[in-house]
Amino acid sequence: MKEETKKVIKELLYQIVVIFIAAMALIGTIIVVKQIIGGNNKNIPITKDKGEPIENSIIEPEINLPADTKENEMSLSLLSEPFFPPQNIYSDLEVYNNNLINLALIGEFEKVEIKVSGKISNDLDNFISVNIDGISGTLGGYRKSINTLDLDKTTGIFNKSNSIDFVLDLKESTKFSTTKEEFSSTFESTKNVIIWDKIKPPSYTGRGTIAKFLIAPYNEKGKYGDGVSIDSIEFRYTCKVNSDSCAVVICEKDKNYTFGSECLKEHFEKKFGKQSWESYADYFK
């Protein structure tokens, strides 16, 4: 009897050990499988009860797109009708002064450009003479002699196949032919000028200034306004701070200003104060 009891107990202990070993093996297998599954699914989003993915926590960088300058761009038309310059536009001082566009400027400008368009009815090559506050020359011109341009090197040639329609960024360098006087003294055929440097208002002073514009087309025979006209000059700009921090107006010819300061005072004093005009003493005539 005792022998049978010992045998049963021994058999029972053996079964317990086998069951324990099997259980430990099963637990180890489950842990390994979980690690494998977890490692392969690190980037799989966990799902809510409703099956909607929960995104991983990501810090998005700020997206600061540049401001659309078109929204803040302002424009001023400098011509009220097509301009056919008279032949004596540069030889008669009174005619020259009567055709000048006097443009009053004040403040800090971010963008400044002029868009020019015109019509050509002749069958000739045509050119654009530019005179802005002492800057004078043919746009894109290359002087060959005192009285002629080198057409092979001149880029500003307009005709029925290449209409007058261009934009000048006044803050960028623009190519002009030298004047007759400049060519005689320097023998240089071209010059590059940043127009804005010549006409911009004094920086951060609250003072205004007046730029004097004349854009006159002429044909290959040297005739101004003969079968060619400037129909539109559009002054386009944006202010550096906001739309109230700069201003542009035309000094009206029918006001018969004697001094430039009179135009500045009339248009700018209320908004920009007395400093906008007090130190400006240029004559109009």
Q: Quick: pLDDT tens for 175-194.
A: 999 999 999 999 999 999 99
Q: Give me the pLDDT at residue 44, please.
A: 35
Provide the 3-class DSSP secondary structure of residue 127: strand
Domain segments of the chain as ranges = 69-276
Q: Give me the pLDDT at residue 242, please.
A: 87
Q: What b-and-e string marks burial along 199-208, b requiring 16 or more CB atoms within 10 Å of the CB?
A: bbbeeeeebb
In whole angstroms, give the CA distance from residue 56 to residue 197.
Answer: 54
In whole angstroms, give the CA distance from residue 283 to residue 269.
Answer: 19
User: Using an 8 Å Cβ cutoff, are 108 and 143 in contact?
Assistant: no
Q: Give me the pLDDT at residue 64, please.
A: 47
Q: Give me the pLDDT at residue 61, please.
A: 47
CATH number for region 69-276: 2.60.120
Residues of the chain with pLDDT below 50 are 33, 39-69
Q: Give me the pLDDT at residue 282, please.
A: 77
Q: What is the pTM of this model?
A: 0.72
